[in-house]
């Protein structure tokens, strides 16, 4: 299973920055797949929803490197899937650390792009080979950066082993954090505000009635 | 020219992305691949020149290749239309697929996921990739058929309204999804409703003034404090 | 300084950064393209009008028409797109608005100096921008939320410290 998870880390990085663009790198997909691999799909599904909403509030334009929500989802999902979250406090602590590290992880993509530029400017490498090397670099980045953060996370949780354990209701925290982020997502949707809020409230009401 | 091989290759064309020529390497590479297939002889000099700056949304690359071959040898030349359409499709792709359609797919998938997680996963991937694959598979033929008038084909579907259309549906389903999420988890006491409404309102308010990354950090710290004070 | 009254130099005119970055970020409802080539080409006209989001008005003029039409009424908010520094200079005398001037994307060509990862200018363009700097606030950045390249460095470039 560990080998599968490492290979998946590479695929996520390729899908996100180099090739495919088929959503394998979206947090909800990552959490679900890791959840299925680690036999913990329900818990991870809620983590996936929270991080997916966070990631959706961003658009990839031009040379800009978007927030590395895939990194966040992978690290948290693998650690949660392996059963290291023994309390809500540990989940929140790791979430906090990984949000900060996410910016550093995004920066590694800059190195890959610089390497791609270096290879291109050499002017002697055939285009097909440049494409192949670019995909390989993205894969390599994935299998190094993501699992390294998982090990770091596990190390931090091991350090707090037996202490700093508060709360066991994971779901309520992920659900209400998701609701908070949904406010951002709603604002992010770009059509005339008044109709947007009316439509949203209508959906909210209908869902409430049905449930 | 419907070809599984070229379709798969077009999934990789973005791999040499860099700030020097952006996706120029991939464009030139696919140009070479398509020329082999359709028998157009492109010399090394042309392929070298085509590695220059190029950037578009990855889903639309084959449309532009189709236009390029159609306009190859005309007075204006293919590069004029390559530049125009690459900018235009970058605008459409970023705006529709990355901004709007992805949110729409997520809301539907998340709702399905409450019923069955695997179904949610399947719906997310299928819903998003159907237009993606369609564009890559048929894009070349459509681009070649219409050439520089390709926009006429897109105008049939009112391409500038897609973003707004999906944003409207997403707003509805986002509301629906939040209700369902609260309902299926039985967070249905008055306190839960109140707290949920406060969280949503805070998210909406913070979104005007604060970057979502910083807001997420603040929210996690806030929830941590609530946890230490006794929890939700 | 009008944050939603912007003149932008971008040789790609309308693309993802312009729509997702500038138009949606500042909720701009009026966009102009001031460009001789686009104004005279019906297909390009159609392309840009077809991709601009619903609810945003797009006006396309050649450079001489632009000055006249733009000055006819007071626009509360706008984004005007120019393909080059020279295009902007050619209309700048007739503009009496309080505007932000943004240099977003100018391609690399021989004898140009790299200002940012997307902006390459020659000495005459730098001199022109330095003159405009006395009248307008100038930023060099791709997206509104980015930090601008420090335009004061242009003085160093002009003093031969390149």
CB contact under 8 A, C118 and A63: yes
Q: What is the ipTM of this complex?
A: 0.96
Tokens 């650390």 sit on residue: A97
**CB-nearest partner of C143 from A64, A190, A191:** A64
- Same domain? For B140 and B50 the reply is yes
Domain of residue B72 covers 4-188
Residue C150 has pLDDT above 80, yes or no: no
What are the angstrom distances between the C-alpha of C16 and each of C23, C116, C128?
10, 18, 27
Residue B216 pLDDT greater than 70, yes or no = yes
Q: Is residue C92 very low, low, confident or very high in pLDDT (cuts 50, 70, 90)?
A: confident
Residue B160: burial class (beta carbons within 10 Å; 0-12, 13-18, 19+): buried
Interface of C with B in 83-142 (CB under 8 A): 107-108, 117-118
- Report yes or no: C47 and B85 within 8 Å, Cβ to Cβ: yes
Residues from chain B contacting residue A130 (CB–CB below 8 Å): 15-16, 25, 29
Nearest CA in chain A to C22: A61
**Using the beta-carbon criterion (under 8 Å), do B87 and C53 form an inter-chain contact?**
no
Could you confirm whether domain C5-158 is CATH 3.40.930.10? no
The SS3 assignment for C60 reads strand
Domain parsing of chain C, residue ranges:
5-158
Does the distance separating the beta carbons of B160 and C51 come in below 8 Å?
A: yes
CB contact under 8 A, B90 and C43: no
Placement of tokens 């966040």 in the chain: A72
Identify the chains in contact with B, defined as 3+ C-beta pairs within 8 A.
A, C
- Is the Cβ of B191 closer than 8 Å to some Cβ of chain A? no
Contacts of C21 in chain A (CB under 8 A): 61
Nearest to A96 among B103, B128, B217 (CB): B217
Claim to verify: residue B66 and residue B154 sit in the same structural domain: yes
The verdict on A190 touching C (C-beta cutoff 8 Å) is yes
Domain ranges of chain A: 2-210
Chain B residues 101-130 with a CB less than 8 Å from chain A: 102-103, 105-106, 109-110, 113, 117-118, 120-121, 124-125, 128-129
Cross-chain residue pair B187–A175, CB shorter than 8 Å: yes
Per residue in B4-42, pLDDT tens?
Answer: 999 999 999 999 999 889 999 999 999 999 999 988 989
**Cβ contact (<8 Å) for B231 and A95?**
no
Dist. CA B210–CA B208, nearest whole Å: 6
pTM of the model: 0.94
**Residue C151 banded pLDDT, cuts 50, 70, 90:** low
Distance from CA of B142 to the nearest CA of C (A): 16
Confidence of residue C159 (pLDDT cuts 50, 70, 90): low
Question: Which of A61, A190, A191 lies closest to C16 in CB terms?
Answer: A61
Per-residue burial over C9-46, b = 16 or more CB atoms within 10 Å of its CB, e = otherwise: bbbbbbbbbbbbbbbbebebebbbbbbbebbebebbbe
What pLDDT score was predicted for residue A177?
98
The verdict on C142 touching A (C-beta cutoff 8 Å) is yes
Cross-chain Cβ contact A20/B51 below 8 Å: no
Do residues B84 and B196 both lie within one domain? no
- Averaged over A25-35, what is the pLDDT? 98
Q: What is the pLDDT of residues B116-148, one digit of tens each?
A: 999 999 999 999 999 999 999 999 999 999 999
Last residue of a domain, one of B154, B170, B188: B188
Residue C1 has pLDDT above 50, yes or no: no
Residue B232's alpha-carbon distances to A89, A176, A182, B106, B227, in angstroms, are 12, 10, 19, 27, 7
Tokens describing residue C19 = 């729509």
Distance of CA A60 to the CA centre of its chain: 15
Whether residue C15 and residue B87 make contact (CB cut-off 8 A), yes or no, is: yes
Cα distance from B208 to chain C (closest Cα, Å)? 11
CA A133 to chain centre: 24
Note whether B12 contacts A184, CB cutoff 8 Å.
no
Residues B68 and B45 in one domain: yes
Structural domain tally of chain B?
2
pLDDT score at C2: 52
**Which one, of B160, B3, B23, lies nearest residue B86 by Cα?**
B23
Residues B146 and B199 in one domain: no
**Chain A contact set for B170 (CB, 8 A):** 189
Q: Supply the pLDDT for residue C130.
A: 86
Whether the predicted pLDDT of C78 surpasses 70: yes
B39 & B70 share domain: yes
Band the pLDDT of C152: cuts 50, 70, 90. low
Could A207 and B94 be called an inter-chain contact, meaning their C-beta atoms sit closer than 8 Å?
no
B165 and B90 within one domain: yes
């Amino acid at each position: 299973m560990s080998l599968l998870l490492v290979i998946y880390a590479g695929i996520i990085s390729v899908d996100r920055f180099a090739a495919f663009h088929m959503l394998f790198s979206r947090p909800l997909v990552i959490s679900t797949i890791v959840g299925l691999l680690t036999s913990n799909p329900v818990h991870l599904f809620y983590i996936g929803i929270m991080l997916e909403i966070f990631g959706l509030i961003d658009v990839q334009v031009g040379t800009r490197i978007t927030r590395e929500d895939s990194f966040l989802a992978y690290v948290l999902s693998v650690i949660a899937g392996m059963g290291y979250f023994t309390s809500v406090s540990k989940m929140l602590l790791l979430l906090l650390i990984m949000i900060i590290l996410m910016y550093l992880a995004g920066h590694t993509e800059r190195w890959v792009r610089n390497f791609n530029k270096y290879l291109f400017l050499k002017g002697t490498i055939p285009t097909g080979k440049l494409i192949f090397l670019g995909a390989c670099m993205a894969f390599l980045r994935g299998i190094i950066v993501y699992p390294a953060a998982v090990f770091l996370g596990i190390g931090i949780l091991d350090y707090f082993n037996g202490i700093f354990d508060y709360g066991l209701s994971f779901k309520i925290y992920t659900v209400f954090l998701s609701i908070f982020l949904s406010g951002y997502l709603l604002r992010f949707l770009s059509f005339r505000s008044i109709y947007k809020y009316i439509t949203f409230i209508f959906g909210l009401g209908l869902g409430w009635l049905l449930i | 020219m419907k070809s599984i091989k070229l379709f798969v290759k077009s999934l990789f064309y973005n791999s040499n992305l860099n700030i020097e020529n952006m996706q120029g390497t991939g464009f030139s590479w696919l140009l070479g691949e398509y020329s082999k297939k359709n028998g157009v002889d492109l010399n090394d000099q042309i392929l070298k020149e085509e590695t220059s700056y190029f950037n578009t949304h990855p889903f639309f690359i084959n449309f532009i290749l189709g236009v390029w071959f159609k306009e190859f040898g005309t007075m204006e030349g293919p590069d004029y239309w390559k530049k125009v359409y690459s900018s235009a499709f970058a605008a459409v792709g970023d705006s529709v697929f990355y901004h709007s359609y992805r949110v729409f797919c997520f809301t539907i998938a998340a709702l399905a996921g409450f019923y069955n997680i695997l179904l949610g996963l399947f719906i997310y991937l299928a819903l998003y990739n159907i237009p993606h694959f369609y564009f890559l598979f048929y894009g070349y033929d459509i681009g070649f058929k219409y050439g520089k008038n390709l926009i006429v084909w897109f105008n049939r579907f009112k391409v500038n309204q897609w973003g707004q259309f999906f944003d409207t549906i997403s707003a509805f389903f986002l509301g629906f999804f939040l209700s369902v999420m609260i309902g299926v988890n039985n967070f249905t006491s008055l306190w839960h409703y109140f707290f949920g409404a406060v969280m949503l309102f805070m998210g909406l308010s913070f979104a005007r003034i604060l970057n979502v990354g910083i807001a997420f950090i603040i929210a996690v710290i806030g929830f941590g404090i609530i946890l230490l004070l006794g929890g939700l | 300084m009008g944050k939603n009254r912007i003149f932008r130099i971008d040789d790609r005119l309308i693309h993802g950064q312009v729509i997702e970055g500038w138009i949606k970020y500042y909720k701009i409802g009026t966009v102009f393209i001031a460009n001789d080539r686009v104004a005279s080409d019906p297909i390009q006209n159609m392309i840009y009008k077809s991709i601009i989001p619903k609810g945003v008005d797009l006006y396309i003029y050649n450079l001489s028409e632009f000055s006249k039409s733009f000055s006819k009424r007071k626009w509360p908010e706008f984004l005007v797109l120019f393909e080059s520094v020279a295009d902007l200079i050619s209309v700048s005398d007739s503009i009496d608005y309080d505007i932000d001037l943004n240099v977003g994307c100018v391609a690399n060509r021989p004898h140009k100096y790299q200002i940012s990862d997307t902006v390459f200018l020659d000495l005459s363009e730098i001199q022109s921008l330095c003159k405009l700097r006395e009248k307008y606030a100038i930023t060099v950045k791709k997206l509104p939320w980015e930090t601008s390249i420090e335009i004061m460095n242009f003085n160093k470039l002009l003093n031969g410290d390149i």
